[in-house]
């Protein structure tokens, strides 16, 4: 085992946590990701200097206005909800029967997301894919989702192509973070972390063809799977990384996670320190930044998500990833109630998370 692999496998201190149900962790994971997304939304395209000029030396510390309101979610949470919808329908509809077709259900859910975003092409989408695939879901009845919140170019262009990208047949060469920031529901739905890893890769490959783009999503899904089952974060990182070791083209993802773990051992977390991991626009950087923020924050949800969004980069995506991880690890009690209350579509997010657990028989 080389130095990078040894660093990733090292265990870290993690406070013991009273027993939580998987459904409670799932709810906190989904809400936590959405809150991290909403905290990062106003500063997604700002430099750290600009963030501090606008919000003070400590940076952004609460919901600020984005898209005309406080607590606004972005495309990150929209696509996370559609990932969950695809998984739910994979258990409900006969045409998706069988594990291998779960990714098809997710693809059709992403087409429904595209239907909400690309309103000028709705008729073409229906003609190309059929009404059942494009309209007949859970979420297309919610008009609040028919708003554009800086949707990613790779996601839009891949879905507009009319082809479903796969791990074997890449749709493009993108390794943007769009596959990682939406994959948490896969980890919540599958208690088997290896299965979660495989489907996480497949769901990301629908729109992101670079191996790093989908391997980082697979690792994130496996990480959430283990956390939702009660593992500590260091153990979940070690387990997910162990699964990654069976895959080719793992080097970028592995090194990024190792860097996050190593950095977490250093004192005085800061925006400048998290920026040494990157800006978060690509998959491995976003994953590393989210993991780092979660490691140094421990059970302090507020500290973790604020660290994850105060930097010169893709603040909403790194905030979403950190929020998913901390929520899945520590549950609802660690998330500030005022943030849940002010979050856009909070009730819908909770409904979808509960439905996901119900459908997969994990709502104990």
Average pLDDT over residues 3-14: 45
Instruction: Please check the confidence at residue 19 and state whether its pLDDT lies above 80.
Output: no
Do residues 364 and 23 make contact, with C-beta atoms less than 8 angstroms apart? Answer: yes
Model pLDDT, residue 244 = 98
Asked whether residue 76 is marked as a ligand-binding residue, the answer is yes
Q: Could you give the C-alpha distances from 154 to 34, 287, 340, in angstroms and in order?
A: 21, 18, 30
- Alpha helix ranges (H) inside the chain: 3-9, 22-40, 48-55, 75-92, 102-117, 122-129, 131-134, 153-160, 184-189, 193-205, 211-228, 233-244, 251-264, 271-274, 283-297, 301-309, 315-330, 337-342, 346-359
pLDDT tens track for 287-296: 999 999 999 9
Asked whether residue 314 is marked as a ligand-binding residue, the answer is yes
Average pLDDT over residues 220-233: 98
pLDDT tens track for 190-215: 999 999 999 999 999 999 999 999 99
SS3 call for 331? coil
Do residues 129 and 114 make contact, with C-beta atoms less than 8 angstroms apart? Answer: no
Instruction: Please check the confidence at residue 112 and state whether its pLDDT lies above 70.
Output: yes
Average pLDDT over residues 158-171: 96
Do residues 165 and 207 make contact, with C-beta atoms less than 8 angstroms apart? Answer: yes
Instruction: Please check the confidence at residue 12 and state whether its pLDDT lies above 60.
Output: no
Q: Look at the domain 3-359 and name its fold.
A: ADP-ribosylglycohydrolase fold (1.10.4080)
Model pLDDT, residue 94 = 73
Model pLDDT, residue 4 = 45
pTM of the model: 0.94
Confidence label for 8 from pLDDT (cuts 50, 70 and 90): very low
Higher per-residue confidence, 9 vs 252: 252
Model pLDDT, residue 7 = 41
Rounded to whole angstroms, how far apart are CA atoms 220 and 29? 12
CA-based R_g, the chain, Å: 18
H or E element in which residue 98 lies: none
Rounded to whole angstroms, how far apart are CA atoms 79 and 95? 22
Within a 10 A sphere around the Cβ of 276, how many other Cβ atoms?
12
Rounded to whole angstroms, how far apart are CA atoms 355 and 57? 41
Model pLDDT, residue 181 = 98
pLDDT tens track for 93-106: 877 776 679 999 99
Instruction: Please check the confidence at residue 63 and state whether its pLDDT lies above 70.
Output: yes
Asked whether residue 249 is marked as a ligand-binding residue, the answer is no
Rounded to whole angstroms, how far apart are CA atoms 121 and 347? 29
- Least Cα distance to 28 among 304, 258, 289, 264 occurs for 304
- Least Cα distance to 73 among 149, 138, 139, 140 occurs for 149
Confidence label for 80 from pLDDT (cuts 50, 70 and 90): very high
Do residues 51 and 262 make contact, with C-beta atoms less than 8 angstroms apart? Answer: no
Dig out the tokens for 208 from the structure.
């992101």
Confidence label for 14 from pLDDT (cuts 50, 70 and 90): low
Model pLDDT, residue 18 = 57
Percent of the chain with pLDDT over 90: 84
Instruction: Please check the confidence at residue 117 and state whether its pLDDT lies above 50.
Output: yes
């Amino acid at each position: 085992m080389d130095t990078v692999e040894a660093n990733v496998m090292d265990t870290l201190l993690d406070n013991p946590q009273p027993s939580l149900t998987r459904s409670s962790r799932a709810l906190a994971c989904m809400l936590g990701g959405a809150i991290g997304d909403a905290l990062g939304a106003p500063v997604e395209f700002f430099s750290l200097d600009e963030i501090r000029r606008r919000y003070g030396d400590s940076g952004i510390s609460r919901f600020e206005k984005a898209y005309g309101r406080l607590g606004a979610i972005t495309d990150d949470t929209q696509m996370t909800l559609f990932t969950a919808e695809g998984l739910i329908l994979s258990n409900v509809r006969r045409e998706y029967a069988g594990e291998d077709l779960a990714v098809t259900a997710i693809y059709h859910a992403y087409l429904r997301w595209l239907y909400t975003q690309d309103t000028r092409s709705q008729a073409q989408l229906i003609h190309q894919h059929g009404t059942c695939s494009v309209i007949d879901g859970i979420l297309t009845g919610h008009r609040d989702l028919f708003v554009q919140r800086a949707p990613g170019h790779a996601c839009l262009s891949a879905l507009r192509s009319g082809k479903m990208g796969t791990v074997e047949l890449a749709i493009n060469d993108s390794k943007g973070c769009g596959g990682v920031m939406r994959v948490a529901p896969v980890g919540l739905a599958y208690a088997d972390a290896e299965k979660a890893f495989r489907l996480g890769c497949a769901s990301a490959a629908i729109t992101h063809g670079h191996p790093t783009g989908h391997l980082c999503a697979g690792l994130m899904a496996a990480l959430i799977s283990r956390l939702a089952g009660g593992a500590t974060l260091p153990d979940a990182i070690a387990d997910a990384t162990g699964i990654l070791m069976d895959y080719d083209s793992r080097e970028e993802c592995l090194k990024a996670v190792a860097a996050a773990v190593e950095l977490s051992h250093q004192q005085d977390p800061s925006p400048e320190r998290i920026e040494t991991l990157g800006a978060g626009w690509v998959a491995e950087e976003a994953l590393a930044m989210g993991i780092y923020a979660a490691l140094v924050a421990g059970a302090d949800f507020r500290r973790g998500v604020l660290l994850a969004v105060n930097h010169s980069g893709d603040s909403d995506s790194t905030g979403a990833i950190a929020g998913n991880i901390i929520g899945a690890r520590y549950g609802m009690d660690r998330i500030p109630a005022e943030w849940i209350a002010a979050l856009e579509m909070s009730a819908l997010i909770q409904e979808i998370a509960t439905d996901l657990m119900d459908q997969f028989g994990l709502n104990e």
